[in-house]
Amino acid sequence: MRGTVQMLVERGGNLRFEAEVSLQGTVAALAVNDGQFVFVDHQKKTFRQGLATPSDVASLIRIPLPPQAVAAILLGDVFVSEGSKALDVGWDRGADVLHLQAPDGAESWVSLHRPAPLVAAWDVVAVSGQPVFSRGRWRVSYQDMQRIDGQSFPKLIRFAEPGRDFDDGVEIKVRDRILNPAFPTDAFLLAPPPGYLPQKPGG
């Protein structure tokens, strides 16, 4: 499905997405605030809310990961759990690959590339992760990089779930980006409109 999604992203994992379709306006919205989520379907006039699990966070954009990891991906970065340790450094397709392990045993691989010898900063060009008890890795590719105030951000973000190709995953093309905006206090709060009904299981 193709559409325009307005996104507010806070590095700590607070999120707000509003999906728009031509001639219809906003058709769905999702907000995550302090680990709780609300999803509103304006077409069906229903809503769902509760603890922000990976599957619930993926209700609007199919990236089934914890909110902090989703926020990092949308910022062109990688979420590293506190207490994570580096296991080794490898090399793949012109990038250094840092292999990390979180305290719970989950592993991640961060591909880093220096765009030019005189540029001090390194770009994150790809990330993959393997949760505990999972046989496959989810993968992220960052492409079409642009540098803003000395920092590099991808204009194209591609995500693939474990065992799937990028062509079967999510592709996000960033049209415009505003860095470090001043969010209002209620930016990540979303209330179901009056008359909307709770979603039935599987609905």
Q: What is the DSSP letter of 150?
A: T
Asked if the structure places residue 171 within a domain, the reply is: yes
Q: Given the structure tokens 């190709």, which residue do they identify?
A: 165
Question: 78 and 46 in contact (C-beta within 8 Å)?
Answer: no
pLDDT tens, N- to C-terminus, the chain (203 residues): 677 999 999 999 999 999 998 777 899 999 999 999 999 999 999 999 999 999 999 999 999 999 999 999 999 999 999 999 999 999 988 899 999 999 999 999 999 998 777 667 789 999 999 999 888 999 999 999 988 877 889 999 999 999 999 999 999 999 999 988 999 999 999 999 999 999 876 65
Amino acid at residue number 146: Q
CATH of the domain at 180: 2.50.20
What number of helices (H) and strands (E) belong to the chain?
2, 13
For 11, other C-beta atoms within 10 Å of its C-beta total 12
User: What's the total number of domains in the chain?
Assistant: 1
Question: 115 and 151 in contact (C-beta within 8 Å)?
Answer: no
Asked if the structure places residue 140 within a domain, the reply is: yes
Asked if the structure places residue 203 within a domain, the reply is: no
Which residue range forms the structural domain that includes residue 179?
Answer: 4-198
| Rounded CA separation 23/72 (Å) | 32
